[in-house]
Structures are given as C-alpha cells and as structure tokens.
Structure 1
Amino acid sequence: MRTIAAPGFAGSIGVARRDVTPPIGIAQNAWGPAVERRSTGVHRPLELTALAIRDRAGAPPLVLVAFDGSWFRSPDDEWHIREAVVEAAGGDEARVLVTLSHTHSGPLLTRAAADWPGGELIAPYLDALREAAGAAAREALAGTVPATLDWATGRSDVAGARDLTVDGRPLIGWNPDAPADDTLLVGRVSSADGAVLATIVNYACHPTTLAWQNTLTSPDYVGALRETVERATGGAPCLFLLGAAGELAPREQYTGDVAVADRHGRAIGHAALAALEGLPLPGSALALHPAVESGAPLAPWWPVPHAASERLAATVEEVELSLKPPVSLDELERRWADVDPRSREERIRRAAEQQANLTSGSSVVWPVRVWQLGDAFVVAQGGECYSSFQRELRRRHPDRAVVVMNLTNWPGQAYLSPAELYASDDAYTVWQSPLAEGCLELTIEAAATAVARLVDEETAR
C-alpha cells in the first residue's frame, strides 16, 4: 500500500506568548526621511511567542522564540535577550533559536541609540524583553504536552522581487519583471485529541509596508497575518518566522497607511489557512487503496493511521566568511555628500555599527544552525540571505519540509547576496554588507553540510 504523509514530528510541544509592545514615545523610526523619530501610538501590539519541543527519549529540549522586532545592532544587545532563553532551556546554545520578524516599525534594539529622541526608553525595554523571553520559554517548557507538528506548503504572491534598476541606478523597490519566491510553509501543532495548539507560518517578505510616514509601533503585515490565522484556529497562537527575504518585499510598500499592511497580512494569512486545509487529520496519511470499478477504474486515496517521526536533533555548522576591505567613515561621508543629511546620518551610523561588530580582521565565523524535527529541517542564520538560500535547500530535499530563517541569533546586520550582484558595488545589498563576494554561496553549502550530517545520523540509527 503506497502511503503519502505530510512531513511531521511526534513528541511533546508547549507554547507561550507575551505582549512586548514598547511604551509610546520610544525611539523607533530609523528611515532616513523620517521627521518624527519617536513612536506616537500603537497600530497593533508586538508579540513574543515561545515554542518548546521535546522528544520522547528524554533528550534536552529545543526552544524557539519568535518576536516582533526590527534588528539587533550589537551582539551584546542580542545576547542580552537570547541568554535568558538559553538559561531557561538548560544552557545549550545549539538548542535555542531567537528570531525577529524584522518589522521596520518597531523600536530600535540598541542601547547605542540612547541619544535619539525617545532613546532613554530603549534600555528598560530591552530589559523587559529579556524578562518576557525567559518567562515565555519557561512557561512553554513547563507546558509541553504530547503533540504532533505537521507541515504543509502553500503559495502567496504578496512578496515581490525588490531589486530594481531605473535609468542605470539600482534601487530597492518592486521589480515586476523579476520572479519572486512565493513559497509559504505552515506548521500545525496538534494535541493528542486533534485540537490545534499553535501554528507556524514561514514566509520570506520584508515587513516594509510601513515606512518613514508611519509613526505608530506596528508588527507591519505580521499582525493581521497572525490575527487571521488565530481567528480560524480557535485562538491558537501563530508564530511568524521570516524566511530568506534578502530581495523580497511587498509590491506595495513604503507607506504610512496601516490598512495596506493589514491587507497584506490578511492575504498571507488566508494563504496559510488554505495550506492548512490541505493537511490530513493529525495522526493520519493518505494511502492508495485497491482499485474500485465504476464508470471508470478508480484509484481511491483514503486516510489511514500514520505515526510521525519522533527524531529530534540539533547541530551547528560554522563557516568562515571573507570580509570586504573596510571603507573609512570619512570616505563614506564624501561618497554620500549629495544624500540628504538625515539619510546620510543613518547610513553612516549603520556603517559604524558594522565596523564595530563585524569587521575586525579579514573574515568572520558565521554559524548556521539546523534542527531536525522529524521529517522537517529548520535552518537558521543571522544575516539577510537572498531567497536562493531557501530555494536551493528545498531543491535538494524535496521530500522534506525545510523551514528557513533569517535574522536568528547573532551575527547580523549583513546581507548575503548572490555573487553576480558584486559585479557592481552600486547595489544597496552589496555596499551595505561587510561580507565579500561568494559568502551567500558558502553559507548555502554550510547549511547543506549540516542537513546532510543530520540525515546521515538518522540513516545510521
């Protein structure tokens, strides 16, 4: 009997959520043209959700924390948050992932911005975020129950390619002539009685619907996405995991209209729900049964009981990535002399942060973290990879669910762009990044090596 099952995992899973909306007035608007640098209100709350996963053999748990945040600008600020989760999970860094939604309408996550308007609120907020992350992790671990995690693949066309050349100048905006990865992965966490405990949505699209015109704290499209999915699943928490979105963003973006962000979120949310509807019931698969004679010879596929894989494993592959020769801040001031002062100031600030964090020496060690959850792999790294990172891994493992995450743990603040873009240093994702040509391709191979190691271990069992 031929049987087709969704990629799945069976073990124990717990989930917990915290509201991490910052106080109104916090420093948040890092867009160059922004006039108001502080938040003036809240569009939708920012959320932090923890997922704890255990196997039935008693191995140390895996803990994933996903929250609505922009990006960390120093390893110390990032570790301040992640350390609390690592401590809650038992101390093994390889078994903890802390990932950001990358909303561009969230507070600045750096104590170095204390001099900004509203910057005095950042340090207390980071402390509160640390407490929330640790508490949610502990609650999720304490609340694990027998559960299954099944994966479905869907499609959403909200994201478009955003590398656009106009009159010979590379810009960041929708390119209607370039293809975009529309893959969406949805995970369904179900209890032993079939109730939905949580959902996971993995999609690659920059949350840049809202831009410099917006002064409200917002998760961007992620808020309406969660609301749409949670309303249809009985209120079960929905975790959003940002995929390899280096060159992907909403086609309609850079607005102050929060209704546009909500529209994007509902569209992605409905795509996720459509994928969920295609999953078989928990604990079942579709099996080909003997032919039935009718007006035509029929081949019925009917549900049968199915036991999902119980394998849970984690590994880290470190790859050495070359750095470009540093450019002095004085040279950058000259290069951007014609850019408006506020935008030039933000560019210089980011360049200085990168030089402080990533450019000591000629290379940097770049960790790629891979988890195996039954028939699925979770692949995470700290930069902003282009979508070829996820497309290539999924091409190599078509029979698995491959969840890919940008902006997870440190390091960060760096795009990983395809080598061909380095033919010109005019492209933003090239000149913004301290990483040299070929780093994306090396990172893909590092991830593939880590996945292959787990596959080999699984085969040898």
Structure 2
Amino acid sequence: MKQKDSFKDTTGRLAARFGLSQADITPPIGIYSRNWGAAAFDQAKAIHQPLMMHCLYIASFDQPPAIIVTADLGWWKNAADEKTLRFALLEHFDLDESQLIFALSHTHAGPSICSSDAGQPGGQLIVPYLKFLTQQAISCIETARSTLFKGSLIWNYGVCDLASDRDLKVDAQYLIGYNPLKTADTTLLVGRLHDSAENLKAVICNYACHPTSFAHENDLISPDFVGEMRNTVESVLAVPCLFLQGASGDLAPRRQYVKDPTIVEANGKQLGYAVLATLAQEQHSHKNWGFREALISGAPLACWEFQEQPVSTDFRQTVLSVEVPYKNLPSPEAILKEYESCTDRVLKDRLWRKYNTCKSIGNKKEAIIPVWIWKMGDAVLVAQANEAYSCYQMEVRAQFPDHTIVFINIANGYVGYLAPRELYDKDIYAVWQSPYASGSLEILIEQTNLGIQTLLTDETRLD
C-alpha cells in the first residue's frame, strides 16, 4: 500500500534545452499512392490537407542530445529505403543509433515510400520523393538545433474514445472494422512543452488509433484524422502540435473506410478536442498535484494541492535488441513467381507486400526487434517499428504506474503486426499478415519491462 506522501498524479517531467521545427512534405500529384488492395486507381488526384514533418530536438544538460522526427507517412514496405534515410541522418549529424527516432503517423492516404514501386503508375516520382524527405529531415533537424531554449516537457494522461477495437467476427469470418463488443484502450497522452518563463511552445499528442478514416474510394493525399487534430489544437493554442502514433495494431476509428472528408475531419476534431480538454487543467513545470491531508468534515475528506516538485534533468537513451521467432516463411522467389502469374488486382497487391517483407527477412529464423527506450526525466519513451497491439502499451504502463510511458509504433522501420498469442489460431489479418511467430508480442512485453526497469535503476547506459 502506498504511503500518503507518495499519493500524487502520474506526471512525467523533463528539464532540458529544446528545439522545434516543421516542414511541408506533401508529395507531387501523380505519385503512386495505392494503399488499399480494393482501390480501383493507383494515383491520387488532389490534396485534402498537407502532409507535415515535425522535429523535436532535446539537448540534455549533461548527456548527448536526442531527436524525434515525425512524418505524415504510412509505412515502409522496403527496409532498405528506411535505413537509407535514417542512416543518412545519423551520419550527417554524427549520432548514435539510440539518439534518433523517425516516427510515421501511419496515414493510409499518403504516397508510396517504397522504391520497389518505381514500375507502378507514378512510381518514377518515388525515389526523388525519398531524397526530398531526407533533405527536409536534415533541414528540420538543423533548424530545431539552431533554436534551442531552456524549458520543461510535461506529460499528462487523458482519454479519447475515437479508437475502437477493430477485430470483428461476423459469422465464422474475422473482419477488420468496428467491434462494439470489446472495450478499446482509449488512453491519450499529451505533452506540453514550456520555456523557462512558462510560455507554451508546443504540444505533443500520443494516441493509438489507425489513420484509416479514408480508404479504398479516397483519391486524395491526406494525413487522415491527424491533420484535422493538429488544425483543431493549433487554431486554439497557436503553437505546433506533434503526433506520435501509439500501439494501435487492434485500434481504429468507428467511422472509417470512407470517401467523405467531413467524416475524416470529424474524427480529427474529436481527438483534437480531447487534447485540448486534457490541457484545460493548468500544469506547472515545478509543481504536482499531491495529497496534503485528511480532513474530518461531514465525511472524511482527502485534500490535495499543488506541491513543489523538482524537475528531473535525467535524459538517457538506449536500444534493446529483442529476439523473437519468425514463422516458417516462403522464399521471396516463390512469392515473386506467384505474384507474376497472378491476375487478380487485390491478391496481386497482397503478394507484392508479402514479397517485400520476405525479401527483407531472407532466410532468417529469428528476428531482432530493436526497441528504443529513453528515460526523459520522470517519463519513459518506448518506440519500435512494428504494429503492436494495444495490450503492449497497456501492460507496460500497468507495470510502471508511477511513470508516464510514451509509446510509439512504426518508428525507425516497419515489418509487421505483433498480435497476442491467443489470436494465432484464428484467421485474423494481423496474424496471417505478420512474419512473427506466436508468442513474439509476449516476449517483447517482457523484455521491454526488463529494459525499462534496468534504465530506471542503472545510471549507466545499457549495451
């Protein structure tokens, strides 16, 4: 049982020097942008809202700096494309791998970022666009680094019920869509960045929900609900709003797979208003809401108040290497042969994705999943490349109730889904799409918990 002096809100704080920047990364009209097997077209015809890139540069007072770059993009089909971009940034800024997180929002209405799609309609624009992304990322980081200010990053939990469970069983078939029979993780985590004078400089929205409002009928380039979320927050606060996609493998909006932009924007407004609601309670960088005393009234009352709270400057980064098993996968050559003989447009699209995944894996039997863990004062950031189910963030957060935990899916790469063991005997997309064998998510959860515990208790860097 907690002692009364430990009763306080779970609020993560970090004091450091921070830099911010943003850039427009909207691709040219005509670039290959077919993200849905059921789509009848290959190229977007117009722009719904611009795609954006943001950079948060964090310079510790006594440790190496670290950088988060966010981008309104979907996912990496080709591992080499992701590594080319990220390693170019590491080399340009002379960074260790642990110091950089390049996170995608996972919009399903963006351009292809796969160089292997060069032969598709509009595919000739992909490689130049990838080079453009690298240039924009370098420019963003340089700008953020040049605008450093002393400040505090404060995290608070909120709630938003935009996300719903999306594994729906209809008769004997599992579909991906709103499942009203299961409760979803609706946890929202909001970061507010202040300068030393307590002026708000930026807001960070960390939320788990697939940006699949737009779907196969949509012919617009769009950040999906993330764009309107940002518009809603920024129009009120007049500061940049960054988005970090959480562990959303099983989560998506109730209203999705639409062509109507107003429905997409309504989803974004819902999340944006939830961010603003979470920010409505004033927070102080050096104060926390803590238990003061018991007071006998008509009833025995627990009285709380703002109390001085030292802001931690402890900022360290590490990368775990978590080994999990692959399934028995077919060879890339066999998949390519099947792809070349296939005449069904939808099945051909599935095979092409499967080919790119297996090509990057080769003949390996075990996978190494890198997990970035940053101790950010009283908060902990966890980032990895796959589409983990929400139980990942729920179980880890439950293991560390006294620490704010930031979760990021699709960071520094992409391979596939990480679904719970109990789903592996069911015909669910997230299971048959993934190259990972049953039990992989459970291994990842266990190793993440151990990695966080080590970082919290060991003042030295993990190897």
Match of 2:117 in 1: 113
**What's 2:196 paired with?**
192
- Matched AA of 1:455: L
Number of the residue aligned with 2:65: 61
Q: Say which SS state the counterpart of residue 27 (structure 1) adopts.
A: coil
Distance of aligned partners of 1:421 and 1:156 in 2 relative to their CA distance in 1, 3 Å threshold: same
Matched, 1:245 2:248: yes
* Letter paired with 2:22: R
Matched, 1:376 2:379: yes
Which residues of 2 match residues 422-441 of structure 1 at below 5 A?
422-424=424-426, 426-441=427-442
Describe the SS at the equivalent of 1:433: coil
Judge which range, 2-11 or 39-48, deviates more.
2-11
CA separation of 1:388/1:295 partners in 2, compared to 1, >3 Å: closer, same or farther? Answer: closer
Which stretch of the first structure deviates more once superposed, 252-261 or 281-290?
281-290
1:146: Cα distance to partner? Answer: 0.5
Specify the code of the residue in structure 1 equivalent to 2:313: E
SS at match of 2:267: helix
Q: 1:13-412 alignment to 2 at 5 Å?
A: 13-57=18-62, 59-233=63-237, 235-289=238-292, 300-327=303-330, 341-410=344-413, 412=414
CA distance in 2, matches of 1:167, 1:402: 38
Once the two structures are superposed, what CA deviation does each residue of 1:269-292 show, in whole Å capped at 9, x if it has no partner? 111111112242232223555678
Residues 152, 279 of structure 1: 8 Å contact kept: no
Letter in 2 for 1:187: G
Mapped partners of 1:414, 1:148: distance in 2: 35
Q: 1:432 & 1:406 partners in 2: Cα distance? A: 17
Distance 1:243 1:35, change over 3 A: same
Cα displacement string for residues 63-88 of structure 1 (whole angstroms, at most 9, x for unaligned residues): 00011001111122112221243235
Alpha-carbon shift at residue 413 of structure 1 (Å): 2.6
Residue 14 of structure 2 is matched in structure 1 by 9
Displacement of 1:293 in angstroms is: 8.8
- Aligned-partner residue type, residue 396 of structure 1: Q
Aligned to 2:448: 447
Alpha-carbon distance between aligned partners in 2 of 1:165 and 1:281, rounded to the nearest angstrom = 46
- Please tell me whether the aligned partners of residues 89 and 96 of structure 1 are also in contact (alpha carbons under 8 angstroms): no
| 8 Å Cα contact 2:167-2:177 kept in structure 1 | yes
AA aligned opposite 1:100: L
Structure 1-normalised TM-score?
Answer: 0.93
Query: Which residues of structure 2 form unaligned runs of 5+?
Result: none
Against the structure 1 CA distance between its residues 122 and 330, is the aligned structure 2 distance closer, same or farther, given a 3 Å change threshold? closer
Does the CA contact (< 8 Å) of 1:63 and 1:89 recur in 2? no
Question: CA contact under 8 A between 1:84 and 1:133: conserved in structure 2?
Answer: no
When structure 1 is superposed on structure 2, of 315-324 and 238-247 the one drifting more is 315-324
Superposed displacement of residue 321, structure 1:
1.4
- 1:397-424 Cα offsets, whole Å, 9 max, x none, are 11111011111112x2311111111113
Amino acid at match of 1:321: V
Following the alignment from structure 1 to structure 2, what is the Cα–Cα distance between the partners of residues 394 and 254? 31
CA RMSD of aligned residues (A): 2.4
Equivalents in 2 of 1:288, 1:360: separation in Å?
57
Q: Give % identity.
A: 38
Residue identity opposite 1:315 in structure 2: T
Seen in structure 2, the aligned counterparts of structure 1 residues 420 and 331 have a Cα distance that, compared at 3 Å, is farther
Distance 1:294 1:396 in 2: 36
Contact 1:379 1:402 (8 Å CA) reproduced: yes
C-alpha separation in 2, matches of 1:288 and 1:180: 31
Residue 420 of structure 1 is matched in structure 2 by: 422
Secondary structure at the residue paired with 1:408? coil
Q: In structure 2, what is the Cα distance between the partners aligned to 1:299 and 1:121?
A: 62
**Structure-1 separation of matches of 2:93 and 2:460:** 28
1:8 match: secondary structure: strand
CA–CA separation in structure 2 for the residues paired with 1:288 and 1:321: 43
